[in-house]
Chain A
Amino acid sequence: MGRSGEEDWGRNLQFFIGTDVGGTFTDLWVAGDDGRARVFKAPTTKDVIGGVIDAITLAAASYEVSFESFCAQIARFGHGTTVGLNALLTGSAARTFVLTTKGFGDTLEIGRLRRQTSGMNELEMTDAYFRNRHPPLVPRSHVIEFDERIDATGKIVVPLDVSQAGRMLEALRDERPEAIAVCTLFSVVNPAHELKLRDLVNDVLPDAFVSLSHEISPSVGEYSRMSTTVANAALGPIAGRYLARLEEILRKAGMKVPILMMTCSGGVLPTKLLNDRPVFAVFSGPAAGVKGSQAIGELIGSDNILTTDIGGTSFDVGVIVDRQPITRAEIALAGADMKVRSIDVDSIGAGGGSIASVDRGELRVGPRSAGAEPGPACYARGGTEPTATDADLVLGVLDPDNFIGGRMRLDVEAAQKAIHDKIAKPLGMTVNEAAWGIRKVLDSRMADLLRRMTLERGYNPLDFALLANGGAGPSHAWVLSAELGLRGFVVPAAATAQSAFGTANCDLGYVAERPVYVRVPPRGEPAPDRLQAIGEAMRAARDEAQALLRTAGANEDIKVEQSVSVRFRGQSHHLDVPFVGGLFDSAAYQRVVAAFQQQYESLFGGGASFSQAGYEILSIQASAAVRLTPPSITGSGDQLVRRGSRKVVFDDPTHAVDTAIFQTLFPPPGAEVQGPCIIEFPGQSVVVPPGARASADRFGNLHVTQELQ
């Protein structure tokens, strides 16, 4: 699709936009309805909003339209962020107080003993000196205990004394709380006291943002429920404020659509629906990355995907099975366990900045990272320790003159010197051998994580397509794919801004949960009233999820999927078993249990299941989604330009191979090149080893196919 001669080219387009606010950069992915997609990056600003506006400004300029016209032409605006998390970590969140049951005010401090070891990496775990890195989310002085108690069956054992509670809240007024988190024992079974406390707070402290635990995190287990509620309350005043301001700026500029915020569980929602539950979006950046990969999977027809992201400090992996990302019920953030249904993204400290060292004759790579400052030795910012990036440079994978699109010149000699002094010399190797060793160790650690995330869950890695994202992903993917025995890998067109891409290519979605505790002895089945309770919980979860999406503007076609959390009696880990149907009767129970057994055996092997233990049903989830048609992308592509060649080390450290170098912004559909070659994009280099070939599909994704050895 040519541009020349079309004066009003940019003005006739509609834009699908995805934005992702990371710690350093704010990414913007935009697709016009001409099918062309682009990526823009602006430095993240302290107020978050500035970075987003800057990125939009860059985009508008590139389409040669004004900021206002661009905004007016926005057809969808997706948004993800890690800012909420940062606010929690740096303590800049709202001044928050916790109201809880008398006798349990130290719940966050005791933290099930999990807080004490949170944030310790695998090397620190054995050293008690590193414990207690994260203080409780709020200090004990911000916790107020109320004389009330509800038991596990929901019976009110000690009624809440409303007038006394009112007086206690009056006394709190001088403390000027901005947010109040209410979490009382067994509020999820009987919310009466939490509801009364909210009324009182609204009366006495009308300006405070209030979160109730049974609404925010309806699950049994007070530590994670309280943490989640506190995080929600503490983020409430901040997240709502910045999103409202951003939306107002864009609306004033002419945008007619709402901001759709990415949630942890992988659906987007209009921000107004998240104003009272910001914690649902606390981990939205990484979730968006996986959703982006899911969208790519749909484009290229892959149902099972291993999505990888190699950044500066970490290697992140998400797993998509049957077109659905694997989720988890709990995540750890700011040293606390949060009960927030989230796309499961696991990570290890392995990235471009991972430091290599020799310790008593042994090579180690990571988890220590040089970060951005001083960064790898080749950044020439004072870093003297060799990193994975230095190794890639020495091996010829990176071009010193064309790093991040030439914005930074890399110092090859500094990289060589660091590797020589710190690795090659002590190990008695050549610099190339040492650099190759660094890459090998790092890649093998990453492959270990990929194996764990598949095999551990009963999946075979061979059934997956490997997607390589992040700055360093596409240059290491060839090794990962070979390690796992895969036939190749895919570099998405938006590999450097996959999270931003994900926010623009995602369905409206929401997961509602309801706890319901049913215990079934061996060979028994639930009593009728228990079956009824399960049915009611399911209906309630379904109603909540559907109602929320209706509020989000959906009318028809709300797709609801249900699942039941089941475990063998006595276990602490459970499985979520899909459940189809409306009625939960005895036959339905048998179906669920049979499905559980099957899922269980596929995970832990034949013979591992043990029905004589009996079962426990813990909760019900209803996941509602409304399809948002993704922007159609037809990569028109720029040229794939040959820019000479250089020597690159692949499998044999003693033999560098003459390798063709190509450069492109978007590879043209159908373009095909033969390895060995490197295809350089701004911000990433796709390594195509000897014997492999790379071809671009019509969406701009590169498929690298390797011969299996």
Chain B
Amino acid sequence: MSGSLNPVIFEVIRNRLIAITEEMRVALQSVSGSPTVTEASDFFTGLFTRDGAVASMGFQVAFHAPVSGAFIRHIMSRPGMVVRKGDMFIGNDPYIAALHQNDVQMVAPIFVDDRVIAWAAVEAHETDVGGMDFASWCPKAREVHQEGLRIPCVKLVDGGTMRDDVLEMIVSASRLPALLGLDIRAFIATLNVATDRISELAQRYGFDVINDAMQRVITSSEVRMRARLAELPDGEFHAQDFLEHDGHSNVLYKIDVRISKRADTLTLDFGNSSPQSPGFINATRSGLMGAVAGSILPTLGYDMPWNQGCLAPIEVVAPDGLICTAQFPAPVGSATVEAIWVTANAIMLGLNKMLATAPDYQYRAQGLHAGAMATFNLGGVNQFGEPFGLHLMDPIAAGSAAFPGKDGVNAGGPITSPVSCIADVERNEQVAPLFYFHRKLAADTGGAGRFRGGVSAEVSFTLGGIEQAQALIMTHGVEVPNSQGLSGGWPGATIRQTFGRGAVSNGRLHNGSWETFGPKPGLMLMTNRDVFAVSWQGGGGYGDPLERDPEAVAKDVREGLVGADAAKSVYGVVVNDGLDLEATEKERAKVRLDRVGGAFRSDPERIFQGAPLLSLGDSLGLAKDRRGWHVITKVGYILCTGSTRWRSGAVSVSWRRLPDQFGILLHEDLAATAYYCPASGALLSVDFHFKDAAPPDDAILDLAVLEGCLDGQSRIH
């Protein structure tokens, strides 16, 4: 196959493929008119092998990696669909290959003589593709037919000729036909760039060399991903995340993933997730595969070229009919920011729990970034008298998770799309009828921990230049802390969205009638006397907040990132005029004792003498003596023996409602449980779960394999 490819030529072609993918990005972003593309980078460009495996892709939204491949394979499998030189296909059907209908994609075969050598693909989030509500996110939809136009698989450019009639049909379905039309032109420009460049490359090196090189690029990443997996401990890792409100009622849904890691393979089993919902938050299987790619790539594939090879060692197990494998005709319009986003959260949390148990990867084990992507859409007639539609990108400015050695990034954004950004306030106000009162960092939103999660940004605005418009406000994560922490770190605050009616006069805020919104207030009329104010989720914290350097907490208080109240009740740090170290020590000692009910356990047989052999994150270690393997805390307290199911040995405290200082609101079906070291009061983990179910043990290592590995290592030393 590709064994004979000269390593120098391979590297030359590999770099060229990356350069071409970059050129595709530039073409798309230059021509596109969608802020989702030009600012938020909610798009995808990639080069695929002739079989539809992605060989090279940009750093944009990683969720899209597998989608176009599925689309290409669909085209090839269609009886009667002739693929010719100069053809371009368009599609957005989530039941074929799309995350949701807004994600319109086009692909083009690239020919050398009469053979297809590769495919180019481009996709972008379009603000409106029709459906019952503006922006094609329809909270009241009960089936997919009520949502945006579905284009199954249509030849839009036929042998180099645009089918104007088809184009007209597609853009007519949109409330923003000009915008969609411009973006389709951007797609064509992007595919043209790829076709020209790949053709040139194939002319120079020949069909076989290019084909081999593309296959080898993929193999190369697969080898790297397998090597990475082989370095991680075998075992089962279990994580859950939740999303509330399906558009119809405020039901709580669970995404449950069991990650089994064996040697150099990974199996993700979603079998225990909630069944599909009647509303638009579902994901199809196409969306699930997107979530898998979007979470695996940045978490495990952070240092390797992103392509199909990274996903080859991963098997997905999920029966039909789950919230993440919804069956036709379930509505799926908001899948990307609902079920897909939350599925990716759960996977990333599970993977990070795995990283935390691996000595070489602990430094980068972390909680979750930006666990929700809130939506604010606005439609009507703008200050220029034109029909308009705004999809506000500001909500990606949520906080990033802390690492074991550093705080999370304030307004750091998600890691599933590495290059997203938001527009200037001035730009937004110049082109859209908005008037901001602030865009700033939101205090007390970063997940508490030894290292703090990054705080989120927050905004508040009214309308500018127009009297009124239709607003669509929806999210999850108002009553679910999706940005979970790790190793005792707390999640970032939940989203807080409020609406002040009649709260503006003369460009200033006044007391109006303020309402705190739930997750999905949905469509509403907004006037230029109303204010919408929202803060998003902060990033997850890392480690026990009582172990955070008091100076760092005092600095956070000084800079307005943490309030003095939260400093005391969450971090046990007393800041009056300045840091009061003595009072802090007292406070922290008191909290630790309170955590375990007023008395530390000190039975000598439960205290392990000696050092742990392995660390399992910030607060736990794995130790061994004649009795077998133990999970121990920092003070050596033995939580369990013979397995890593340690939760039963810890002191646990559960909440249905958390103290205000955490900024975390819990859905009525959701509970939080904290686990403490009985001997020291150290916080070991904070878990979120259905109120009537216990949190699962989350990192069950295969101790027999581990033992073998350790023996192997000691022989080498």
Contact = CB atoms under 8 A, between A and B. Distances in A.
A603 B27 CA distance: 9
Given A157-B507, A441-B15, A221 B179 contact: no
Contacts of A149: 507
Interface string B302-324: 11001000000000000000000
B438 interface: yes
Interface in B404-439: 409-413, 415, 418-427, 429-431, 435-439
Given A112-B424, A113-B396, A610-B181, A125 B457 contact: no
A610 B15 contact: no
Nearest to A364: B11
B439 A604 contact: no
B427 A220 contact: yes
Given A152-B465, A448-B15, A604-B31, A220 B424 contact: yes
A448 B306 contact: no
A149 B411 CA distance: 24
Given A113-B422, A117-B419, A125-B418, A572 B181 contact: no
A170 to B, nearest CB: 22
A604 B424 contact: no
A113, A568, A607, A612, most chain B CB atoms within 10 A: A113
B179 A613 contact: yes
A129 B403 contact: yes
Interface residues of B, number: 89
A103 B426 contact: no
B10 interface: yes
B203 interface: no
B435 A603 contact: no
B540 to A, nearest CB: 13
Contacts of A106: 411, 439-441, 457
A519 interface: yes
B8 A441 contact: yes
Contacts of B31: 571, 573, 604, 608
Contacts of B188: 605, 607-608
A12 interface: no
A448 B7 CA distance: 18
Contact of B19 (A111, A364, A448): A448
Contacts of B34: 570
Given A157-B507, A608-B189, A113 B397 contact: yes
A362 B220 contact: yes
B439 A126 contact: no
Given A131-B409, A151-B435, A448 B16 contact: yes
A127 interface: yes
Interface stretch (A26-34, A267-275, A307-315, A451-459): A451-459
B331 interface: no
B7 A363 contact: yes
Contact of A185 (B178, B412, B425): B425
B559 A140 contact: yes
Contacts of B18: 122
A220 B423 CA distance: 11
B427 A151 contact: no
B422 A456 contact: no
B294 to A, nearest CB: 12
A568 B11 contact: no
Interface in A432-480: 436-437, 440-441, 444-445, 448-449, 451-452, 455-456
Contacts of B16: 444, 448
A3 interface: no
A364 B18 CA distance: 14
A106 B459 CA distance: 11
B179 A103 contact: no
A110 B178 contact: no
A220 B422 CA distance: 15
Given A126-B302, A221-B426, A573-B29, A360 B59 contact: no
B162 interface: yes
A222 B425 contact: yes
A1 interface: no
Given A360-B220, A568-B33, A116 B412 contact: yes
A663 to B, nearest CB: 32
Contact of A110 (B30, B39, B441, B464): B441
B457 A158 contact: no
Contacts of A605: 188-189, 192
B301 A126 contact: yes
Nearest to A155: B507
Contacts of A103: 436-440, 460
A116 B413 contact: yes
Contacts of A128: 298, 302, 369, 400, 412, 415, 418
A123 interface: yes
B426 A127 contact: no
B23 A613 contact: no
Given A152-B429, A451-B19, A572-B38, A112 B33 contact: no
A517 interface: yes
A129 B302 contact: yes
Interface string B19-33: 100110011011111
Interface of B: 7-8, 10-12, 14-16, 18-19, 22-23, 26-27, 29-35, 38-39, 59, 162, 178-179, 181-182, 185-186, 188-189, 192, 197, 220, 223-224, 227, 297-298, 301-303, 306, 364, 369, 384, 386, 396-397, 400, 403, 409-413, 415, 418-427, 429-431, 435-441, 457, 460, 464-465, 506-508, 558-560
6 contacts: A126-B59, A158-B507, A362-B10, A573-B29, A607-B162, A608-B185
Interface of A: 102-107, 109-114, 116-117, 122-123, 125-129, 131-132, 139-141, 149, 151-153, 157-158, 185-186, 220-224, 360-365, 427, 436-437, 440-441, 444-445, 448-449, 451-452, 455-456, 517, 519, 521-522, 568-573, 603-605, 607-610, 612-614, 616
The 5 closest A-B pairs by CB, nearest first: A103-B438, A570-B33, A157-B507, A572-B38, A437-B8
